[in-house]
């Protein structure tokens, strides 16, 4: 078992087989730097719980492929990324810090899927991006590539 | 799921732009998962987002992302833009502006290029000039991986003439459907070169190889008649592969450290293959070799120190005799009924699919660990089951024997054959069976199959996606399947 400590001082025990999906922790264990508790100053307990949930489910990835449990895993993944943007960014940052490749891919793909076919207004609204372009600049960008801004598939809703 | 919705421009106290404060690498990663059109649309979100869409060090420029059909293997007469309808012309224009805009942005703001992938049809001089600018840009910006797949109009090859492929960083180069003429090559770090359906004359080919002094892997998929004799002598070369040449020809490999050879032929064509350094070759993969048996056997055994051998789709083959003292892995796929004699004391793993091939002498390979048979019978007749029984017998000594079948009929022995199939095989202890689509229950499969293996201790049975490990002790104590079979047998003989 490996102990992880979140930045709000909560400790979690995780099986080694699960936690080594994190390249960063795997390296620490291999270098013998993981003797007691591993502090994770960038990750709060709420996010860490999500990450551990993912690690535990993906513990036997190779085995799942062999026994045909991929469907189950796929369903889990779909459910897993069903979270708000804030939470998703927290998990992305944690996955980036811990260097968990598959989790990173999953979350980035989910973020991209949510942005796909969305109108500029919808994306700004969803991501709370403040538009600091002047009207002229905005028009100039659109004129450069008008095909990117029109079409029946563009969706102006924010969910 | 909670999300702020609606609201227009009203003041929002918790309005924190999280995404823009993420590290740029993460934003780029999300960007890379987006369709290109959506990626371009983010350029108008805010000042910071204006250039992000064109900033990833991995560059993928593919006309297919803009609705063009490019697939070559779908149709021999490839799509060309002279046939494009109006809607597609718009897409074409969009792709070209995308190419131009992203190049402009990169020129201005971004230095680093890691991967450059370009797939498109180059239909006129302005597109050609743009393509050449891009290739030049990628080479100058220290690209490591360069893949270009270019066609000209009317399905013709795009001529990469007079391009200077000079880069001190390039490791991996793949060129598809082009013609290479009068190019210069100075690629000291290139390790892998792949040419797919490329027109190249002898002299240009020589120049190309001479410009890649460190090349380790060379793969050529050839349709062109313009290269009748291929001579490769780069001393660093470890892997040479030739796939689907569409004419007869000759290849001479003089590289001294060659480790791997891969050949795929379509049936009609014969190739004269000459390798000077046969004792260094460890891996040999042959596909579609249409040759006299003795020639193939002879060809393989000319490499005395093979460790991995893969043979597939050799339909005329009848006999194969392998004498390989270091051979560790042997895979043979899609052959007819062949007799394969293997003298390979170090053989560890064997995989097979095909006709009713026998493996006399395999018992002598004592160290066999993994044996996999993919059972996809074309016809289920008496011969099939007798063959299967023989296979079980001669591979009984393997540590892990697996049978993988599409349906359970391939392994359930018909009752009326029980007598012919005796005696039972007593020394097979462990077996794995995988059945993709099944109608029978595991008990029916056991009853129809396991009686012939009274010594079996564990059976790992996978039906569809569910795996059960059945301990043998249960079988022996109940002994049911065996007696059921015996009863059948008695009934038949009386």
What is the predicted pLDDT for the residue at B331?
95
Contact B5 A159 (CB under 8 A): yes
In terms of domains, do A11 and A72 share one? yes
In terms of domains, do A69 and A125 share one? no
Top-confidence residue, A117 or B295: A117
Contact B42 A123 (CB under 8 A): yes
Contact B33 A148 (CB under 8 A): no
In terms of domains, do A76 and A143 share one? no
Of residues B2, B19, B41, nearest to A148 (C-beta): B41
Average pLDDT, chain B: 83
In terms of domains, do A60 and A110 share one? yes
In terms of domains, do A111 and A122 share one? no
CATH number, residue A22: 3.30.710.10
Among B2, B7, B12, B43, the residue to mutate for chain A (most A Cβ within 10 A):
B43
Number of domains in chain A: 2
In terms of domains, do A32 and A107 share one? yes
Contact B1 A126 (CB under 8 A): no
Picking from A80, A96, A115, the residue at the C-terminal end of a domain is A115
Instruction: Report whether pLDDT(B476) > 50.
Output: no
Of residues A82, A86, A132, nearest to B18 (C-beta): A86
| Predicted confidence (pLDDT) per residue in B220-270, tens digit | 987 566 556 788 999 999 999 999 887 777 889 999 999 999 998 876 677
Top-confidence residue, A15 or A157: A15
The domain ranges of chain B are 369-494
In terms of domains, do A93 and A16 share one? yes
Chain B hits for A124, CB-CB cut-off 8 Å, are 45-46
In terms of domains, do A25 and A69 share one? yes
| Predicted confidence (pLDDT) per residue in B388-443, tens digit | 989 999 998 899 999 999 888 888 888 888 777 778 888 888 899 998 877 777 78
Of residues B37, B41, B46, nearest to A133 (C-beta): B46
In terms of domains, do A55 and A10 share one? yes
Highest mean pLDDT among A13-17, A88-92, B444-448: A88-92
Name the nearest CA neighbour of A100 among A4, A19, A28: A19
Chain A to chain B Cβ contacts (< 8 Å): 127
Banded model confidence at residue B449, pLDDT cuts 50, 70, 90: confident
Å from B438 to nearest chain A CA?
A: 15
In terms of domains, do A55 and A98 share one? yes
Banded model confidence at residue B24, pLDDT cuts 50, 70, 90: confident
Chain A hits for B2, CB-CB cut-off 8 Å, are 84
What is the predicted pLDDT for the residue at A152?
75
Instruction: Report whether pLDDT(B2) > 50.
Output: no
What would the DSSP string read from start to end of B274-324?
EES-GGG--EEEEES----HHHHHHHHHTSTT-SEEEEE--TT--EEEEE-
Residue ranges making up the domain that contains A126: 118-159
Chain A hits for B44, CB-CB cut-off 8 Å, are 120, 133, 138, 141-142, 149
Contact B465 A130 (CB under 8 A): no
In terms of domains, do A88 and A43 share one? yes
In terms of domains, do A68 and A122 share one? no
Look at A43-52, B68-77, B145-154 and tell me which has the smallest mean pLDDT: B68-77
Chain A hits for B468, CB-CB cut-off 8 Å, are none
Contact A71 B3 (CB under 8 A): no
């Amino acid at each position: 078992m490996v102990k992880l400590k979140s930045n709000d001082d909560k400790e979690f025990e995780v099986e080694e087989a699960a936690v080594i999906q994190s390249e960063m922790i795997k390296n620490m264990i291999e270098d013998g730097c993981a003797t007691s508790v591993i502090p994770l100053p960038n990750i709060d307990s709420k996010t860490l719980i999500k990450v551990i949930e993912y690690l535990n489910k993906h513990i036997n990835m190779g085995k799942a492929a062999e026994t045909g449990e991929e469907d189950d895993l796929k369903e889990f993944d779909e459910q897993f990324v069903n979270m708000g943007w804030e939470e998703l960014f927290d998990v992305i940052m944690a996955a980036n810090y811990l260097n968990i490749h598959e989790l990173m891919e999953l979350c980035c793909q989910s973020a991209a899927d949510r942005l796909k076919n969305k109108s500029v207004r919808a994306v700004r609204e969803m991501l709370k991006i403040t538009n600091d372009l002047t009207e002229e600049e905005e028009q100039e960008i659109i004129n450069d590539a008008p095909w990117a801004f029109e079409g029946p598939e563009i969706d102006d809703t924010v969910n | 799921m909670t999300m702020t919705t609606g609201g227009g421009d009203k003041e929002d106290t918790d309005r924190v732009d999280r995404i823009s404060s993420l590290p740029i690498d993460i934003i780029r990663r999300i960007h890379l998962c987006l369709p290109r059109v959506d990626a371009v649309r983010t350029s108008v979100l805010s000042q910071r987002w204006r250039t992000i869409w064109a900033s990833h060090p991995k560059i993928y420029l593919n006309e297919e992302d803009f609705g063009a059909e490019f697939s070559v293997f779908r149709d021999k007469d490839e799509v060309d833009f002279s046939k494009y309808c109006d809607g597609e012309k718009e897409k074409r224009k969009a792709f070209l502006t995308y190419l131009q805009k992203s190049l402009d942005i990169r020129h201005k703001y971004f230095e680093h290029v890691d991967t450059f992938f370009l797939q498109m049809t180059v239909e006129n001089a302005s597109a050609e000039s743009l393509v050449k600018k891009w290739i030049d840009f990628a080479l100058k910006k220290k690209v490591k991986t360069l893949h270009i797949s270019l066609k000209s109009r009317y399905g013709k090859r795009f001529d990469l003439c007079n391009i200077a492929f000079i880069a001190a960083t390039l490791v991996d180069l793949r060129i598809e459907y082009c013609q290479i003429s009068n190019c210069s090559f100075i690629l000291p770090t290139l390790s892998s070169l792949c040419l797919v359906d490329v027109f190249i004359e002898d002299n240009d080919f020589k120049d190309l190889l001479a410009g890649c002094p460190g090349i380790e892997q060379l793969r050529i998929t050839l349709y062109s008649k313009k290269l009748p004799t291929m001579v490769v002598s780069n001393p660093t070369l470890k892997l040479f592969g030739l796939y689907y040449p569409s004419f007869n020809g000759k290849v001479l490999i003089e590289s001294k450290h060659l480790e791997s050879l891969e050949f795929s032929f379509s049936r009609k064509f014969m190739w004269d293959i000459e390798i000077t350094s046969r004792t260094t070759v460890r891996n040999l993969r042959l596909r579609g070799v249409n040759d006299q048996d003795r020639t193939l056997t002879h060809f393989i055994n000319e490499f005395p120190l093979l460790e991995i051998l893969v043979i597939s789709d050799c339909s005329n083959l009848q006999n194969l005799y392998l004498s390989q003292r270091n051979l560790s892995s042997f895979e043979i796929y899609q052959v007819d009924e062949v007799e394969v004699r293997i003298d390979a004391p170090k053989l560890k793993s064997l995989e097979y699919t095909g006709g009713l091939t026998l493996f006399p002498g395999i018992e002598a390979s004592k160290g066999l660990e993994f044996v996999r048979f993919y059972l996809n019978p074309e016809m289920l007749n008496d011969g099939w089951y007798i063959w299967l029984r023989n296979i079980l017998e001669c591979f009984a000594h393997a540590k892990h024997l697996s049978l993988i079948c599409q349906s359970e009929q391939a392994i359930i022995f018909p009752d009326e054959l029980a007598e012919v199939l005796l005696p039972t095989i007593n020394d097979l202890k462990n077996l794995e069976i995988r059945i993709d689509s099944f109608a029978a229950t595991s008990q029916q499969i056991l009853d129809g199959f396991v009686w012939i293996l009274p010594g079996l201790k564990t059976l790992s049975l996978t039906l569809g996606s569910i795996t059960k490990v059945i301990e043998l002790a249960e079988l022996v104590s109940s002994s049911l399947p065996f007696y059921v079979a015996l009863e059948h047998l008695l009934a038949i003989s009386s």
